[in-house]
Structure 1
Amino acid sequence: MMSGDCRRICVGMSLVWPGIWVGSVRSVTPELLKANRISVLVWVTPEVSPPSLPGTVQLIHIPLKDDHDTDLTPFFPVVTTAFKNCQGGGMMFVCLAGVSRSATLALAALVGNTDLPQMTLKYAYKTVKAARPFIHPNTGFFSQLVRYEKDVRGTSTVSMVQYPPYSGDMIPDVYLQEINQSVAAPFHAFVPI
């Protein structure tokens, strides 16, 4: 599936699940799409126009900004269906930096695929984060993913929690766990607990 000496991260794109790549717009070239057998390109940015693509690559163009109030939910079933239908090929999600919009839609494609029973939102997030450590869907997108998981799977494995306390700002509990781990890590290095 991967070409040359690419393993998990290749020219600004990351293989986050078999058949699913996440990357930035700068990583897309016709040669790279062909080499990695990508048959669907999800282009999630209005800032840069999609490139000319080989006829074998389907383009799903979603020209939306990375804004807390942007609604990506109408596109969740679209990318889920496209992922289910791209048998034998790969699917690449790109946005300007490959951090928020593209990661959100890749997570939606995984969570919405009920043929993958283990693919809860929490599991999908941890899986994609392990392959592309700098993903960070904005909190508005994450709350949309929480609702989508509940709609598709009947429950949600991620909760939106208030942070900082009493602020009224909501973040996904997986972000709070990351904050707690990053704060505790230096402390554990110096003080045995």
Structure 2
Amino acid sequence: MLARQLEQFSCIRQARVQLAPQSWQSGAVIVLEPARPEAMPDAAALDRMLDTLALIPDAPDKRHVLVFDTEGRRLYPDHETDETARREQEVALERQALRVLRPLLDGNGRAEVLVSLDEAEKGRTTGRRTISVLLEENAVPETVRPHLESLLGQACALEEGRGDALRICFLPARRNAAALRGLALTFAVLALAGMAAFF
């Protein structure tokens, strides 16, 4: 709904929205692709455009929204805050983890990465990192699985002493649409055969 609202503006060709993790409450990260390179709205225009999000139920407050272009440059807000800097670092780590994962994926296997950074404690320059990775159960070869933690730990610079955590969850694989149709047809034939036998 957020993406569709933004795509109603003629200067926007496509908007992709990712809800932010719970550590960044009620926030969202938006990636905009302009209709034309010169049509990308500036921070002031984006501020006015984001006012329309208030029309959408449960939409995040624009104070908790980050907007990037497709090259990863931040468009909104145009000033630096601790919160936006932290989210930028989270986005950079998510992309780094995905760069490591994508060459390992089999076929159309899906992978999602979510990074959450805690606020830095006294005496530390960075906060604890929590990396959550969702993979389809057949997304990576069995021979690669034992090395995933090490590869992702290096990619995201995880440190055990800082209390960093890495969670890898495997989800059931999507079924092929043709296979599902074939399965449905088989059950339909069996049902008809059962009815014929009954009558």
TM-score, scaled to structure 2:
0.32
Q: Which has the higher strand share?
A: 2
Query: Which has more radius of gyration?
Result: 2
TM-score, scaled to structure 1:
0.33
Point out which structure has higher relative CO (alpha carbons under 8 A, 6+ apart): 1
